[in-house]
Chains A and B, each alone.
Chain A
Amino acid sequence: MSSLEVTPAEPLSVDAGRALVNDFSLQVATVNGSGSQTANTVLMRAIFQMGIPVSGKNMFPSNIAGLPTWFTIRASKHGYVGRRKEIDFLVAMNAETAREDVMKLEAGAAVVYDEPLKLGELRTDLHFYPVPFDKLVAPVCPDAKLRKLVRNMIYDGVVAQLLGIEMEEVHRALVKQFGKRKAKAAELNWGAAQAGFDYATSAFTKNDRCRVERMNLTAGKIIVDGNAACALGAMFAGVTVVAWYPITPSSTLVETLIGYMRRFRVDPETGKATYAIVQAEDELASIGMALGAGWAGARSMTATSGPGLSLMAEFIGLGYYADVPTVIYDVQRVGPSTGLPTRTQQGDLLSTAFLSHGDTKHPIFFPCSMEECFSMSIQAFDFAERFQTPVFVFTDLDLGMNNWMADAFVYPEKPMNRGKVLTAEDLDRLGGFARYGDVDGDGVGYRTLPGTNHPKAVYFTRGSGHNANAQYTEREDDYIGNMDRLAHKFETMRGEVPEPARELRAGARIGIVAIGSSDYAARESCDQLEAEHGVPVDYLRPRAFPFTTHLAEFIRGHDRVYVVDQNRDGQLLQLMRLELEPDSIARLRSVRYYGGMPIDARTITDEIVKQEAK
């Protein structure tokens, strides 16, 4: 039990005047392994179904059961779905953290808590709603063994009553969550939710500020996590060979993919799979299989996180030098070994851009949303085959494992681009080919696939020492020629990677640059800076490395540009520096957050205000 000081504060009057309608953060503090995930998802979905934009973030420990976990739902009529630091409504179910959780709240917040925790004594400037969970659960759940799980659903009912969430929506969300096959469980949980609702109706007088009111901002939208969105993107990209090794936070990407592939990628006529997914023995093997498959003409992929990338480094260099396509998802997290593997970070940027040894550099895509996780996955598979090289898709734990609202994904209109592949007929016509010759001037040679039924189809794939005809060589002119071709290929990519997204405001003299999941906080910060400080700010979000020319233009067009990084050393800024002129570099400022939580708008705004004041 923590021994926090109890600070005396002004007693509360009713806060009705500052009502937070559809604009608050609600946090549920539980113990992991207690089955609270279902209750939390139902709560989030019910609000979403009332037409209010939401996001759900799960802050969980690297542990299977018994340690604290927090689930935060942000409802925002403005559509802000990034993290907000301040919590307006707390559901305190975990004895271990309850006191500290309560002490951290700002005055005026509300707390639903398990009655025996006696939290009401801690502060006088909060609104407390004690609930006797154990007493309420017994009558609705006769089976004592199930009570631990069902108990959580009671707070859904209590919160619904206090916030004005329609119980029909809670019921609808619950049925959806449990599915048809678990109708009985749904019934049991529904009883618990109702018990919570009824208790709140009779026991409490509402006096806190948080409230929901029906809106119409979520019609047609979906709720999904980034790993599922990437998995769907990969499936619709036509991926055929997947090799992986489990690591949080990337595991569910492939696990979700396995589920979808089993449903939708088994040929109904033959009963045969149109794909192969292999859980490899380690990341050395998963990347090797992905490259072997890419070499043999498959759309191949692997998914991992930072520690896995470290192991893949050598093979990825070979993929670069030998022009072998594959797609590598990196769901970033904090550092190696134990500590914060279940916290988010954008920490793999520098090490991946130049992963492996020698003169290697790699294209990286930076989706920021569920829609982009889907669409940029499809682009990445096209890109890998178009350029015959490993392509990285970077997300992070925040994007990958949290719940995000999104527009329904758009079916790919363009046919798959399988790149420059010569068939037996082509070889008949051409009489042969130079594997690494730059016929088209874009740095990309023509390849053949092993098994092509033609004696002239074959070539020998090897590392750094090969000439245009794929023959072994240690000659310096051959080596330099190949390295220059690869450098030229990288420059061609610069013109074909997804362009940055931009949001420009009249009269802006300063700008913000951010990538990936920093987008939500960055855009909210732009609004804060304008609304609270009268400072218009332009925003540019590169969607890929190599950076396009738009980035340098954007920087030249502003006095100062704040580069947002979710890592200690400003890796995005460092990477930008490598491609910019000194005059542009001088305009760059750094905003960094690296505590392991998703970055929030206030952190960016405060930092920019501080630096601007200098």
Chain B
Amino acid sequence: MSTPAAPPPPRKTNRIGLDVLSYKGSKTTLCAGCGHNSISERVIECFYELGVEPWHVAKFSGIGCSSKSPAYFLGMAHAFNGVHGRMPALATGALLANSTLLGLGVAGDGDAASIGLGQFMHMVRRNVPLICIIEDNGVYGLTKGQFSATADLGSTQKGGAVNDLPPFDCCALALEWGATFVARSFSGDKKQLQAILKTAISHRGLSVIDVVSPCVTFNDHVGSTKSYAYMKEHDLALNELDYVPAYEDIAVEIAEGEAMDVPLHDGSHLRIRKLGHDFDPTSRLAALAAIEEAETKAEVLTGVLYVNTGKPTFLDLLNLPPEPIATLPESRVRPSRAVLEEVMEELR
């Protein structure tokens, strides 16, 4: 046949000329249907859509199914898969060394709410500029289904065992400790999670994102409060979110009282439209009250709970320069002979 083959359709690329493949990682080894996989998908989409150079991203994680997931997105980003619960320390050290990195941390609920609770707390206290995604399934997936500290009181294990302890709510804890961006989402809510992730990419400071992410293998049964079915019933979105990137610069008229516009560090905006509740996402107290109230009604409150763009980050507090201190030239990190002589004279 002599009909010429149709030219391949032009490759779809983002504003920095990369296709979506450039944002993928290796093939997931997690269970099919695992909520963590959906979160990875959202990460890929968000970084692709915003045109972030992946090699300026540094991924950090602890240990767990969740912590494996950084291998399955942003394959062109550096990554450090550390030890169980200690993602915050690794990320903190790396970001101090190189403050130009865009840090993305993934933790399981075992990492964040149990073995690494202390590190999680102190990372919040320091306002380390990091996107921290807690992939929250209420169980230890990788060790085969034990309850985690976020499992709800009275929820059951697959084998029937009942959880007799009340849960930690990672969002409430982060709010208490002074986090600057706190949101909750559900791995099944594509639009909401995207808006939250994009906001986190633009936020200067720590973003704590607790994503309910069902474990299909160990915690998706009747009696679980972290299952797909339970979330479909009980997910209550606080607000409708619209992320407007800086480069789009569309001026949208917002009617008074209808939505709130939060300008972010990099020039982008988050538009928060209230849903039902009269809720102010710049008030920590309001957020804590809303969580408390939802708890009594067995609702899982999702959306942006709190945003504060004015607090200094740990890098600011340490008076770090804009360039990475890790690679400052010798002339700037090794004091002169005269300095050594001065100190020696003091000790003579």
Contact = CB atoms under 8 A, between A and B. Distances in A.
A46 B71 CA distance: 64
B81 interface: yes
Contact of A458 (B26, B76, B86, B333): B76
B96 A276 contact: yes
Interface in B320-335: 320-321, 324-328, 330, 332-335
A273 B99 CA distance: 13
A415 interface: yes
B71 A460 contact: yes
Contacts of A286: 89
Interface in A221-239: 221-224, 232, 235-239
B82 to A, nearest CB: 7
A144 B334 CA distance: 48
B348 interface: yes
A564 interface: no
> B75, B96, B318 — which one has the most chain A CB atoms within 10 A of its CB?
B96
B111 to A, nearest CB: 12
Given A274-B321, A296-B58, A296-B94, A411 B340 contact: yes
A243 B88 CA distance: 13
Given A297-B98, A453-B55, A274 B325 contact: yes
B92 A278 contact: yes
Question: What is the size category of the interface that chain B forms with chain A?
Answer: 35 or more
A292 B89 contact: yes
A112 B76 CA distance: 74
Nearest to A264: B335
Interface stretch (A444-452, A485-493, A579-587): A444-452
B348 A460 contact: no
B122 A457 contact: no
Nearest to A407: B344
A236 B340 contact: yes
A284 B325 contact: no
Interface string A397-414: 000000000001101100
B65 to A, nearest CB: 14
Main secondary structure of the interface of B (DSSP, over half): helix
A274 B89 CA distance: 20
Contacts of B222: none
A271 B81 CA distance: 35
A241 interface: yes
Contact of B119 (A281, A411, A454): A281
Interface string B199-235: 0000000000000000000000000000000000000
Contacts of B304: none
A289 B330 contact: no
Contacts of B83: 288, 314-315, 318, 463
Contacts of A442: none
Nearest to A240: B325
B96 A278 contact: yes
B348 A222 contact: yes
Closest 4 CB pairs of A and B: A288-B89, A292-B93, A289-B93, A298-B97
Interface of A: 220-224, 232, 235-241, 243, 260, 264-267, 270-278, 280-282, 284-300, 314-315, 318, 322, 408-409, 411-412, 415-416, 448-455, 457-463, 471-472
Given A273-B320, A295-B90, 17 more contacts: A222-B347, A224-B347, A237-B334, A241-B325, A272-B320, A274-B325, A285-B122, A288-B119, A290-B93, A292-B94, A294-B93, A295-B80, A408-B344, A450-B98, A451-B100, A457-B55, A458-B79
10 contacts: A221-B348, A240-B326, A243-B93, A270-B321, A282-B118, A285-B88, A315-B86, A449-B326, A450-B101, A458-B55
Interface of B: 22, 26, 54-56, 58, 60, 70-71, 75-83, 86, 88-98, 100-101, 118-119, 121-122, 318-321, 324-328, 330, 332-335, 337, 339-340, 343-344, 347-348
